[in-house]
Structure 1
């Protein structure tokens, strides 16, 4: 009796070992076939696209599915297959590396110029797409608007992103955000009231202790750079103005992401030449826009697939001529780096059409534009500089820009110091 029990136990052990060996062999063969399939993938557009193509390569036939279920669970099978793939299939890392590199390419013309024009597909994509993906927000959900002329606008609470869109290989949508040529721009004017001194205003909300500046020449190395804000700045109240006693020949700016120093560390320095002896400057920083990556989406009929469980369906564009339509079209046409800009002494921006109308006249003595219309009775003489529309200054972009890699040192004291108690 004892021998019979041992025989049965041995029989079951042999059967299970045979099955284990069989499933192991099956998974090994499937992993090899899947890897070959991945190697033969011609084009991968995005992470979502790669995941779908990987899933397709690893898909089981009905017969193989039945075979797997007889020996293990699908969950266990998937875990074993993934382990085998990431252990032996170098094609996965190769494809992912190429995908990551493709996102770093700033000029996609080499791809776009060889692409067909998909007019019918583009026409079918025109519309608006909610981007909440089921996550409701009290401020409202972001919305993507695809307009004619391949322009898009994404509107969300407190932010607008604009750019151009393109259909690639019939089933992919590329959203390429508009970017400035440099992460900074400098505008200037001659201000007769401050003579040989200089006034600089830093506009925008992206300046920090990581933003560095120098008004001196940058021929020597290392270059001494000064943070615009202190590291622990926590009180912000526009405008931020810095004054110096002389007129610079150039203004150099840099953004130090790591904010670390070492002997061989270099930083990208952007130098704006002051060829017209301006003494009143406005500086803008666009590092947030510079870091925006292209968005790549799968096209599925009248739906866009941004990722797993991130699918949105097309709705109609705002009615032509409506307030929403006018706003979105105005946003899509904005030039964030025009050659000239107009601000009053409180740094409120004015449209060029308004200044160049009959309401303003050039004042040669003050080198600005003076309001010549009838001043409303409600206007108060003691109004703030920001709300004062009686004088407006014209600022011109400094367009002679050089870019170089320089070793640098960071001064301990910032240009602007602001801390709340």
Structure 2
């Protein structure tokens, strides 16, 4: 009798596990035949990645007894990152604004001078990079954006003691996803409502797992690095053809050591084996690279004077 009970318990456990297997791949149709829909990868280690045209969301997942899956996306701590370096040949201050667009009203300035919008209201026809040179030095940089349903702006202050050349990265709402849920029914995921189920779950194949792990790792660790590398035209951490920096087994330190000589006093990398580039293609000239160090941001509840004139006025000509 005891053996029969044990066998029934084992059978129940196997059936239960089979019914609640979550790890695998799912596809959700977006309704747009041109974008390929939403491809979901849920890994056994409870990491996940959602890949669609022009966007990656990565984070962790968990499931409760009612088969409700909770997704917690990996998001940057703050909506901005500030990186800086000292350029002895730079007069005043030079700032590159990365990933700023008109979807959110962002402000930048300093505690002494107040803040102003980065972009005009009807900004369009953006080009890369967006660079502004200021005549004055910045003892600090103040940034602000109103997030989600906040009633007032939150300010972030980066204290500056030695830099005059900056890259400010803005993480748009697509990079600051809130936690969300999906229901697992049978072998399909149901988001929001029961009208749009995913395709049936498929096991991740070894090659898929290796490929998708890169997206997961990149999505989980792509924010707030201690330093970034850029050439003069702001080709940030490209490392040549193929964007090899996102490869799972890519060793940035070894790559730089092997290919570049580093001047620590100027924080400049010079190629050991220069490849050169055409004069009109500075973006792909990787013979000289510059190291920018992340400056800690501190949230600040102070109120700063706002100037209505924007830093950039970008409008297409009719």
What is the TM-score of this pair, normalised by structure 1?
Answer: 0.61
Is 1:191–1:367's contact at 8 Å kept on the other side of the alignment? Answer: no
Higher relative contact order (CA 8 A, sep 6+): 2
Corresponding residue number in structure 2 for 1:278 = 163
Counterpart mapping for 1:245-324 below 5 A: 245-256=135-146, 266-275=152-161, 277-289=162-174, 291-306=176-191, 307-320=193-206, 322=207, 324=208
Q: Secondary structure at the match of 2:298?
A: strand
Measured at CA, do residues 120 and 193 of structure 1 come closer, stay the same or move farther in structure 2, by a change above 3 Å? farther
**Per-residue deviation, 1:392:** 0.7
Distance (whole Å) between structure 1 residues aligned to residue 51 and residue 137 of structure 2: 41
Q: Structure 1 residue 302: deviation in Å?
A: 1.7
Among 362, 367, 376, the alignment partner of 2:267 is 367
> Which whole-Å CA distance do the structure 2 matches of 1:250 and 1:236 have between them?
27
Alignment of 1:83-232 (within 5 A): 120=17, 124-132=21-29, 135-194=31-90, 197-206=92-101, 210-217=105-112, 224-232=114-122
Q: Aligned equivalents of 1:405 and 1:214: distance in 2?
A: 15
Say whether the 8 Å CA contact 2:82–2:168 is kept in structure 1. yes
For 1:312 and 1:209, the matched residues in 2 are separated by 31
Counterpart position of 1:396: 293
Bigger strand share: 2
Greater Cα offset, 199-208 or 296-305:
199-208
Distance 1:248 1:293, change over 3 A: same
Counterpart of 2:286 in 1: which secondary structure? Answer: coil
1:126-153: CA deviation from partner (whole Å, max 9, x where unpaired):
11111117x3522211111101221111
Name the count of aligned residue pairs.
283
Which is higher, the Rg of structure 1 or of structure 2?
Answer: 1
Answer yes or no: is 1:328 the counterpart of 2:212.
yes
Q: Distance between the aligned counterparts of 2:212 and 2:272, measured in 1?
A: 33
Offset at 1:296? 0.8
Q: Is the 8 A contact 2:82 2:166 kept in 1?
A: yes
> Any idea what the Cα deviations from partners look like across 1:296-336, whole Å, max 9, x if unmatched?
1112232222212122243324531x3x5444211211212
In the TM superposition, what is the alpha-carbon distance from 1:187 to its structure 2 partner? 0.8
Structure 1 residue 224: deviation in Å?
3.0
Distance 1:337 1:206, change over 3 A: farther
Helix, strand or coil for the counterpart of 1:386? Answer: helix
Cα 1:392–1:214 shift into 2, 3 Å: same
> Which residue of structure 1 aligns with residue 224 of structure 2?
337
